[in-house]
Each structure stands twice: as structure tokens, then as C-alpha cells.
Structure 1
Amino acid sequence: MMQFTETLPPSLHQTTKPCQNFATSVNPNQLTQRTRPWPGFPAPNKALGTFGDANCMEQLLVRCANAIETNDATLSQQILWVLNNIAPSDGDSNQRLTCGFLRALIARAAKTGTCKMLTAAAVALSSSNMIETHKFSIIELASFVDLTPWHRFGFTAANAAILDAVEGYATVHIVDLSLTHCMQIPTLIDAIAGKLGHPPLVKLTIAGATEDVPPMLDLSYEELGIKLVNFARSRNIILEFNVIPSSSLDGFSSLIEHLKLQTLVHGNESNEALIINCHMMLHYIPEESQTTPFSFEDSTPRALFLKQIRSLNPTLVVLADEDADFTSTNLVSRLRSAFNYLWIPYDIVDTFLPKGSKQRVWYEADICWKIENVIAQEGSNRVERLEPRSRWVNRMRNTGFRGVGFGEEMVGEVKGMLDEHAAGWGLKKEEDDLVLTWKGHNVVFATAWVPS
């Protein structure tokens, strides 16, 4: 862990009880206030008292963020020192979560140039405590996404909805906007081969994203396409694979233009189903432009992207994403939202991966990448801009789509998938949509839409 003692005030050098010393500058009532239960987190222990509590950790992080934003280097350094001592990177889930935010706050101070006194801490962080995201082989990634329902939930719900929508079509064109590099497609091909009497021609178009967003693959898109084509052939399905280099930063404009051109050339073939499958990718489209405030909903890049999709008159649009809000322009608001959501994956990992395992290191490195992006980055570099289900639902309706919901058979398939995983996972319906939960807290939502 990082060491800050060389530049600390004398009073802090002399104490062996940093929590008690620092507590004199913090409102105890504020620190011990609990606004909601934290399932999975340990109760405050005798050694740390209230400083081991999740809500206390959050308050310390908030105070630190405010100090960094106001360029109060002395207070920032004192709080960071306390956090460094009570939140080790190999501690419990609560401590590891806090350590991730500690790293992110130091990275923000280094990037923004505030708190010059924190330079030494930033150097120490980058040299001794940096987490590097892993580049997965395709076998590693397939195994990785199967560890929890985090992605499998969206795969299962979407595949069930797609199967219903494409029945009777000779050709199925799937536009796959997926964070997981087509890991959903083999299960969909299996389902098509097993449930449709006359397997259709399957066209698969993906956006070859130019951003390095985890999980990252050590395989080129061309190599990935060859593997998918061969897999489909083994299931007696002809698969055409097409990759369009495209960026989320401009609303996947290259992909949209390609799809429009295809429509002009081939027309709206009556026996071809167009499926737009969006799996945890649309929140990388900026939610506001440089010239248009976020409040002008119809003009945001996300709304414009959906309008372009609507103009293609798709057979079905499936949207699955994480149910949280990371869009605030205020750092403290984002920190609170992220802290109150990202405790979930840290809590989950303790249930299925042993400390020190490679997969656990990879899993938590991806979470730390997300935390740092939310906290340390701004402008176009801050791409983790999650929005809650309710906002996406309103946006889809305003763009000319209506929800089609999930039938009991689809719900049964999702429940069957959840039964394969540890206790704690749950499923609930909100209006027409399905929501994956962990210990009662919303995690991921899945929605299905058709043109109104």
C-alpha cells in the first residue's frame, strides 16, 4: 500500500490510532448515519469502530473528494492517509471497494493538477499499486462471463425474445452492440439451431469499437468472426460475419451509415428480420453533446442514435444494461452513486472466487477501471455514463418504440439460469421489463422493444 507519512503533520506522525486522531475533524453523527442496509458487509469491528462501516467509508471518500476539488491538499492528504490504513487492497469487500475509490481520487488529483502535495502519493500509486486490466483469450472470456449472471442474465432474456421475434423469417440479421465481444452469439446460434424448424441464414454485424474498454480480447475481430462462422457451421447454420469499425463517441455513426446503405441497396426485404441487440454498450454513447445541455432530451446523442435505429424499422430491439446513474456532472454525486452500486460486484466476488485467484484479480481490475473512469476522468474520456432503467424506458418510448415484455416461458428460462448460480441472485418484473437483483438491490435490467 501507499505511504504518506513523510509529508504528514507532526501530530499524525506521533499517533498509532489514525482513526481516532482524524475523528476530531469529522462529525461523528454524520459518519455513523445509515441510510440503508448494506447486505454482505461486516458490522463495524471493535478495532476500527465506526471507521470500518461502509457508510463511514463513503463519508470519508466524499470529504476527500471535496477537499481535492477545493485544492485543500492538507485535508486531502490526511483523509487519504486514514483511508490507506483502514482500506487495504486485500481486505474484505468493503475495504477493497474503498481502496478502488482511493486510487481513483489520487488519479484525479494527478490528472487535474490540484493538490500539488499529492504528487508523491500519485507516483507511489502508479509504481506500486497500479491495477492492469487483462486481455482475455476467447476461452478465458467465455469462462469469465459465465462466472455470474451479470452478463448471462441479459444473454438469456435477449435470446428468448429474439427467438420469438424471428420465427418464420428466412434471414435473421443481428446487429450486435455488445460489451462482451459476441459471447452471447454462440448461445443464440445453439437456440436457433435447436428451436427453429428451418434454420435461417444468419447475418451478424458488429461494431468494431475503437475504445479500449474492459473486458478486452486478445483476438482480432477477423479471427473472432472465423471462429463464429465455424461454430455456426457445426450447428448447420450459415453465418455471414461483418465488422464495421465504429466508435461510441459519435453514436456509432459508421455503423448506422452502413445499415442505411444496406437498406438502400437491398430494400426492406420482407423475409429478413432485423434485430438490434444492445448489451451494455449504449451507455458509452455520450448522454449530452458539447453544445446541447442534457435536459434537451430529444437532441442528446443517445436519443439521436435511437432515432436512427427507429428509422431502420427493426423487427426487435433488445436493451440490457446496468441499472445505475453515473451521469452527474458533480463529482460527489457520481462518487455516491458509484459507491452505492459498485459494492455489489465486490460483495459478489467473495461468494465464488478465492482470494488470490487469477480470475478474481481480473474481475476486480475491471471494476477498478470503471471506478477510475467515473471518478478521475472528465469530458470525452469519461465513458462510464450509466443511466437507470427508467430513463432508458422513457427515451425508447419518446423515440417511437413500445415495450413488448417477456412472457412466462422467457421468465422461466431466466430463472433456470439463475438457479445455476449462488444464492443471493433474484429476478423481478418492473412494468414490461426484467431486473436482475443481488440481495434485493437492482443490478441489470433487460427490455425488449418493437416500433410503435
Structure 2
Amino acid sequence: MEDMDAGRAGTARRWLDKLRGLIDPERMGDDFLYLLYHDALARRLGTCHDQRDNLYLRRFERPQIELFDLMAGHLPVLTLAGRIGGALLADHLAGRDTATLLSVGIGSGGQEAAVLTALAKRGRAPGRLTVIGVDPAVGSLHQAERAIRDTGVTLDFHHVPRFAERMTDQDWDLVRRAPRPLVMNAAFALHHLRDTASGADERNTFLSKLRDAEPDVVVLCEPDSDHHRVALPERFHNSWRHFHAVFRLIDVLDVSAADRNAMKLFFRREVVDIVGTADDEDRYERHEPAETWLARLREAGFRPMPAPAESVSEPMPPAFVRHDPDSVRIGFDGESILAVIHAVPAHA
């Protein structure tokens, strides 16, 4: 990494070749992470990929929907994040005559539908719900609308087929005029926002516009690591520590070896994006530490709140949950992997 960062590409390639001779994922489970980073750095250097690597990795490829189901069903940090975020959303939607849910990066609407289904079973679903779904994938927005309608809630669904930073003045007018309470949910979405070409901070801009819309509560879920503006060597170190914790957690799960490797392969795209993308402007996975998100929220006029302890009814070892005064950290073996943040307007 030092040679690559210093522009000594030839030396870096020789180190990579030597490293590849030491990697044996068939024999050592830890070597799967080395293989993914070797692949990412080789891509960055424009080096031809070893056919052995391609064949090995293809053995564990699954359709993306299968990988999502596998991760959601077996990776406890994701399950816990969904439970905690869902409980916080439910607290602010339950029993309301009307309510609005602004969901940024709504995807297929799985989390939202799960929350509403659970509320309906308790007889606590909102009387009429407005959902403003923000997602660049038009197909996902249609899936989300169908999934939420299937819960039986009386629904007004508004499609916003754009990235969050490209929301128009008309989109924000829609948010401001929406029925109250206004609840904003963003799960694994805001770290995709990049600075503009002129250097403007799109994350702060988005949170400032959100604050102007006067939401009643904001719920964020984000990876707890720094891959945004830091230089390549530090980004490499931060991402290695983050994914090493994730992979060690996967290694102790009660699943087959094939499923463990498939789950690890789920993160291949993120590793390649974070350390293997040569042009920094093309990077997409720009995670930030929880402390940075908390600072951004405070600067925008929000007050982070403690999450109710009952938002997690049952522990899910070997993952841990730590309730801090301003966030919930979820991780493994002392390393925070994800953070759920619950904030209200500072005047509230």
C-alpha cells in the first residue's frame, strides 16, 4: 500500500505477486479477506487477475437476492440494526391518525413493510400513512409501494426516483407539506452522498434541507468506519479493521462453510470500491464514523437521543449491542461495526 500510494506501481505489483503466493483460502479461512484485498489492489493497479482467483470466487457467487436473504437471516449485526431501527420507527408511527414516512434509499421497502405489519398485528398501525420513497431505482420504488400496500395500511405513496442529493425543490416542498408527524428513515443510504465537484458537502446540505422541513424524528443506520475523505493508506487500514471484524463474526456463525464464504463475497464490491477504485471521484461506499454523523446532525440543528433499551428485546450473541447516550453501537469482539442514530429537532 505504501508503494502504491507513493506511485511505485512496479514495486507494488511485485509485492502483490509475492502475497498471492502466500494466500490459500482453501486451507485458511482468514485468507478470504486477503484474497478480496489482493483482488481490489490488483484492479487498482490494472493488473490482470489470476484465473485461480476468478474460479475460486465464482464458486461462491449467488444471486444478489439470495445473498441479501442469507445476510439478513444469519448476520446478527444486520438483524439487530433492523430491529432497533424498526422499533424506533414504530414508536413514532404507532396509533397515529395520520403520519408521513420519508424513506431515503427505500429499496424494496422491506423494513418499512415489516414495521407496519408488526404494528397492524398489535392494532396500532397509523390510520393513514403517507410514504415518500426516495430511490434512484424506479423498479425498487414500485416494489416498495406494493410491499407497503400489502400490509393493509391506507397509503398515499409518492415516488421520488432520484438520489437523495438530487431531490428537487418540488420534492422538498412535498416533504414540507406532508401530514405530521414526519418521520425520516435512512438505512445504509446517506454514506453514498459525495461532495460536489466544487467541494460542497452534500451530506450537510441534505441534513440542512431536512431540518428546514421540520421532521419530528430522524433514524439513521450506517456502518461505523471512516472511508470518506481520508487518504488511501488510512482508508485501507480503516476498511481492513472493519471488514476483518465482520469476517471474524461470520466465521463463528453456525452456517455451512459455503454459506460463510458466500456471505463474505457479499462484501467484495465494497472492498473493491473503497480501496480498489483508482479515480476517487468514482467511489460510492463512503462510510463515516458514528461520531461524524452525530456531529453533522448537531450542526444541522438536530439533537441525538438515546434509544429506548426495549428497542432490543433479545440479545443476539456473538454480536454485542451498546446503548450510548447518543446512539446504539452494534459490533463484535469489541469492534463497533454499525451504528443506529435517533435524533429530534434541537428545540424539541
TM-score range, shorter chain: 0.7 to 0.9
Alpha carbons of structure 1 residues 145 and 178: separation in structure 2 relative to 1, 3 Å:
farther
* Other-structure match for 1:260: 173
- Segments of structure 2 that go 5 or more residues without pairing to the other structure are none
Superposition pairs for residues 342-357 of structure 1, below 5 Å?
A: 342-352=243-253, 353-357=255-259
Alpha carbons of structure 1 residues 129 and 408: separation in structure 2 relative to 1, 3 Å:
closer
1:77 to 13, 27, 38: 13
TM-superposition CA deviations, 1:376-396 (whole Å, max 9, x none): 223332011111011111110
Write the distance in 2 (CA, Å) between the matches of 1:280 and 1:362: 21
TM-superposition CA deviations, 1:89-110 (whole Å, max 9, x none): 4443421111111000000011
Give the letter aligned to residue 101 of structure 1: Y
SS at 2:21 equivalent: helix
1:437 aligns with 2:337: no
Contact residue 205 and residue 242 of structure 1 kept, 8 A: yes
Tell me how far 1:78 sits from its aligned partner.
2.9
Give the letter aligned to residue 84 of structure 1: R
SS at 1:370 equivalent: helix
Contact residue 142 and residue 183 of structure 1 kept, 8 A: no
* Other-structure match for 2:188: 280
Alpha carbons of structure 1 residues 355 and 193: separation in structure 2 relative to 1, 3 Å:
same
Alpha carbons of structure 1 residues 173 and 324: separation in structure 2 relative to 1, 3 Å:
same
Give the letter aligned to residue 253 of structure 1: M
Runs of 4 or more above 6 Å deviation = none
SS at 1:347 equivalent: helix
Write the distance in 2 (CA, Å) between the matches of 1:127 and 1:159: 38
Write the distance in 1 (CA, Å) between the matches of 2:43 and 2:295: 35
Contact residue 305 and residue 325 of structure 2 kept, 8 A: no
Alpha carbons of structure 1 residues 206 and 363: separation in structure 2 relative to 1, 3 Å:
farther
Write the distance in 1 (CA, Å) between the matches of 2:286 and 2:5: 20
Alpha carbons of structure 1 residues 209 and 397: separation in structure 2 relative to 1, 3 Å:
same
Deviates more, 1:193-202 or 1:361-370: 193-202
1:367 aligns with 2:275: no
2:163 to 247, 263, 281: 247
Superposition pairs for residues 85-164 of structure 1, below 5 Å?
A: 85-110=21-46, 119=47, 121-122=48-49, 124=51, 128=55, 134-137=62-65, 141-142=68-69, 144-164=71-91
Contact residue 219 and residue 341 of structure 2 kept, 8 A: yes
Give the letter aligned to residue 155 of structure 2: L
SS at 2:135 equivalent: strand
Tell me how far 1:291 sits from its aligned partner.
2.1
* Other-structure match for 1:177: 104
Structure scoring higher RCO (CA < 8 A, sep ≥ 6) equals 2
Write the distance in 1 (CA, Å) between the matches of 2:157 and 2:187: 18
* Other-structure match for 2:302: 401
Contact residue 273 and residue 285 of structure 2 kept, 8 A: yes
Tell me how far 1:162 sits from its aligned partner.
2.2
- Count residues with an aligned counterpart: 343
* Other-structure match for 1:49: none
SS at 1:184 equivalent: helix
Deviates more, 1:145-154 or 1:437-446: 145-154
Tell me how far 1:123 sits from its aligned partner.
7.0
Write the distance in 2 (CA, Å) between the matches of 1:77 and 1:140: 32
SS at 1:306 equivalent: helix
Contact residue 133 and residue 369 of structure 1 kept, 8 A: no
